[in-house]
Amino acid sequence: MSSPTDLALVAEAARKSRVCWLAWSHPGGEVRDRLVWHLWHDDALVVVDGDDHQELPGLADTTEVRVTLRSKEARTALVSCTAHPDVVPPGTPAWDEHASALLAVRLNLADPAATRDAWAREARLVRLTPAP
């Protein structure tokens, strides 16, 4: 369990980096760490599950994820927390807001509008809200 100070550190570390390590039970029960790109938005980490570069099997179906963020300067693990995943439903104002925020920080996109459309059709936006 994280203390309020730890949650502030999680938020600070998540704002300074675009990658984090996630661990959750994959289909079949295996738990693995995965390096994923994310955005800190609206007090949660937001990840795309299912785009061409980031398949996260079982993430949206689990109830708990371990998030580890690193220090950008020292390149070592800085803080870990438990987070609860929630899929943001496509076609909702929340999805539009999260997708816009993610697209704003996604580097090297040839066609952001096409990427947004592909996310709506083929991927899921997942909010990882740190547990108090």
Identify the structural domains of the chain with CATH numbers, from first to last.
Answer: 4-130 (2.30.110.10)
Residue 31 bridge partners (DSSP): 25
Contact predicate 62/85, CB 8 Å: yes
- Give the pTM: 0.89
Confidence of residue 1 (pLDDT cuts 50, 70, 90): very low
Q: Average pLDDT, stretch 93-114?
A: 93
